[in-house]
């Protein structure tokens, strides 16, 4: 038993070390793939508050370019980025309603149903990679994808650039923000990425992690302790409670059947073709998870209780009792935060 405890504590220490890795790092990719035993770490409440999770940085600490972010705000809400003028980035990522669209899969142009559940855009600036399979190394790179995807916004980037260049107000704004580069695919996506970095949602958990004991209820505090004790923090760690590693869906007990033919469920394998990457996905942030049902890339869980049950069995090898699941779910509501962003309307073609 002592050997098992020491081994699991070692996993926890490795988790803490990996929190500081940078967005482009590949260090996470093999982390926890080799864990073969259930994780149940007995942590004391003393000094465990910020051992694995940290509060979000304050907005002013992010040093964002407000002019660039305002331009990105307009572009994020501009339907010119889609082929038929019907969709914007905000169509599938409603940042005032949890950062996703609360659908099992998103709907693209011409009513096309996408293959995967839309992740939240909130706090996405703290993810080490973007997309479920981690194929985008940063937010700017991610912003390139949906526009050119025929099943999403279905437009070609040269056409987008041309449409934005045709708007006098955009001409003036880009000249001010990007005086040397002007309007290009890069500057459009760069501005959108800067806006997305502003979408942070300070929550009661942040006040608690900074030392305010009154920020969480007794039940939520007990839920957070269980969240740590069961080992949820092995993957849902850092300031974003996730988003900083890749993990196999079904690390302990297989989640997908060997007969499963849905290519989306192959995860990172679709990029690397390495067998060990089959069913490996980016661990999602749990911030605002209360608002983002249905859960998982499969949209396979409709409630927090269902999601916790699956995670316990398939990721931790534990059947978590109902009373503990209820407390963990209550704790997760403390990650629901407040967004302070005003939607900026895109300019009309006729504006000077």
Helix (H) or strand (E) holding 65, with range, is none
- Give the span between the Cα atoms of 167 and 351, in whole angstroms: 7
Catalytic position from the list 46, 152, 222, 302: 152
- Give the span between the Cα atoms of 90 and 343, in whole angstroms: 10
Told to judge if 152 belongs to the known catalytic residues of this protein, a careful annotator would answer yes
- Give the span between the Cα atoms of 305 and 160, in whole angstroms: 43
Q: Which residues pair with 281 in a beta bridge?
A: 247
Q: CB-side exposure of 135: number of CA atoms within 13 Å?
A: 14
CA-wise closest residue to 335 among 150, 137, 202, 169: 202
Angle between helix axes 157-165 and 139-148 (nearest 10 degrees) is: 100
- Give the span between the Cα atoms of 249 and 277, in whole angstroms: 10
- Give the span between the Cα atoms of 335 and 205, in whole angstroms: 6
Q: What are the backbone angles phi and psi of residue 247, rounded to the nearest 5°?
A: -150, 150
Q: Which residues are catalytic?
A: 152
């Amino acid at each position: 038993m002592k050997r098992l405890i020491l081994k699991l504590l070692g996993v926890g220490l490795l988790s803490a070390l990996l929190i500081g890795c940078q967005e482009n790092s590949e260090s996470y990719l093999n982390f926890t793939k080799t864990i073969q035993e259930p994780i149940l770490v007995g942590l004391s409440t003393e000094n465990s508050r910020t051992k694995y999770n940290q509060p979000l940085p304050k907005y002013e600490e992010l040093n964002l370019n407000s002019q660039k972010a305002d331009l990105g705000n307009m572009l994020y809400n501009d339907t010119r980025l889609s082929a038929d003028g019907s969709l914007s980035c905000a169509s599938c990522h409603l940042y005032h309603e949890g950062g996703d669209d609360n659908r099992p899969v998103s709907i693209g142009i011409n009513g096309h149903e996408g293959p995967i559940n839309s992740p939240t855009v909130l706090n996405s600036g703290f993810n080490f990679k973007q997309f479920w399979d981690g194929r985008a190394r940063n937010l700017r790179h991610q912003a390139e994808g949906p526009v050119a995807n025929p099943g999403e916004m279905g437009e070609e980037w040269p056409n987008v650039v041309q449409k934005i260049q045709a708007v006098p107000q955009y001409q003036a704004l880009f000249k001010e923000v990007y005086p040397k580069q002007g309007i290009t695919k890069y500057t459009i996506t760069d501005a959108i990425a800067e806006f997305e970095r502003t979408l942070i949602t300070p929550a009661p958990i942040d006040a608690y992690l900074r030392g305010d004991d009154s920020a969480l209820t007794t039940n939520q505090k007990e839920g957070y302790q269980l969240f740590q004790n069961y080992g949820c923090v092995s993957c849902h760690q850092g300031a974003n409670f996730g988003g900083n590693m890749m993990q196999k869906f079904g690390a302990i007990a297989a989640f997908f059947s060997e007969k499963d033919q849905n290519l989306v469920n192959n995860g990172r394998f679709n990029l690397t073709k390495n067998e060990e990457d089959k069913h490996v996905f980016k661990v999602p942030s749990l911030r605002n998870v209360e608002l983002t049902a249905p859960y998982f890339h499969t949209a396979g869980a409709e409630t927090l209780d269902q999601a916790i049950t699956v995670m316990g069995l398939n990721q931790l090898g534990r059947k978590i009792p109902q009373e503990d699941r209820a407390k963990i779910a209550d704790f997760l509501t403390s990650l629901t935060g407040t967004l302070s962003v005003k939607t900026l309307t895109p300019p009309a073609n006729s504006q000077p």
